[in-house]
Amino acid sequence: MSVTLCILGTLYGCDANLLKEGMMSEAMTVFSLGFTKKNAEQFFQLLRANQVKTVLDVRLNNVSQLAGFAKRDDLAFFLREVANIDYVAMPNWAPTESLMKQYKNGDIAAERFEDEFMDLMAQRNIERDVPHALLEHGCLLCSEHEPYQCHRRLVLQYLQQHSDLNLDIRHLL
């Protein structure tokens, strides 16, 4: 094994054998975006400016009239026609209705919501169903403007921790 691989292994905290075998993958860029507090022009400009290839919709309710231009069927059409971006609904990456209701009603704290949602993703084994090709320059979509109080951040965090993916996560605001 070369000295370079040993040094790289030490610097990056990984086994140099994995580097030698090509197991350390280059970072995969993945985005997250909430549609609220944006008009359609801002929304689509953000996606195009970041060269998003696929929107992965992780919303629990993606057919609500409150979603405006981001309602599931309309959004799939607009993404394809306006920006040449694919759309995929990922309902297994959303919390249950019950868990979301408890959190929104204030019945459980944010920390408990995060713990229970992480457990739910583990039970669902979402890391097994990760569409690698869709994630590269993909964008997880939810409604919350900022990712800090949104489950899309937790999905990406979970995938980073429980899969072999090396994600470069970028939250679009």
The string of pLDDT tens digits covering residues 105-117 is 999 999 999 999 9
**Mean pLDDT of the 110-128 span:** 97
Among 29-33, 67-71, 88-92, name the one with the lowest average pLDDT: 67-71
Q: Is residue 65 part of a domain?
A: yes
Give the confidence band of 104 by pLDDT, cuts at 50, 70, 90.
very high
Q: Is residue 74 part of a domain?
A: yes
Q: Is residue 5 part of a domain?
A: no
Tell me how far apart the alpha carbons of residues 157 and 77 are, in angstroms, rounded to a whole number: 29
Residue type, 130: V
As for how many domains the chain has, the answer is 1
pLDDT value for 64:
80
Pairing of strands 54-57, 86-89: parallel
Q: Is residue 15 part of a domain?
A: no
Unique residue bearing structure tokens 């370079």: 4
Structural domain including 36 reads 26-172
Look at residue 66 and tell me whether its pLDDT is greater than 90: no
Where residue 67 sits, what CATH number does that domain have? Answer: 3.40.1010
Look at residue 53 and tell me whether its pLDDT is greater than 80: yes
CB atoms within 10 A of CB 151: 28
Q: Is residue 115 part of a domain?
A: yes
**Mean pLDDT of the 156-163 span:** 96
Average model confidence (pLDDT) for the chain? 87
Three-state SS string over the chain comes to CCHHHHHHHHHHCCCHHHHHCCCCCCCEEEEEEECCCCCHHHHHHHHHHCCCCEEEECCCCCCCHHHHHHCHHHHHHHHHHHHCCEEEECHHHCCCHHHHHHHHCCCCCHHHHHHHHHHHHHHHCHHHHCCHHHHCCEEEEECCCCHHHCHHHHHHHHHHHHCCCCEEEEEEC
State both tokens at 95: 């919390």
pLDDT: which is higher, 93 or 8: 93
pLDDT value for 9:
37
Q: Is residue 18 part of a domain?
A: no
Q: Is residue 20 part of a domain?
A: no
Is the whole-model pTM more than 0.85?
no
pLDDT: which is higher, 7 or 101: 101
Q: Is residue 58 part of a domain?
A: yes
Tell me how far apart the alpha carbons of residues 34 and 162 are, in angstroms, rounded to a whole number: 24
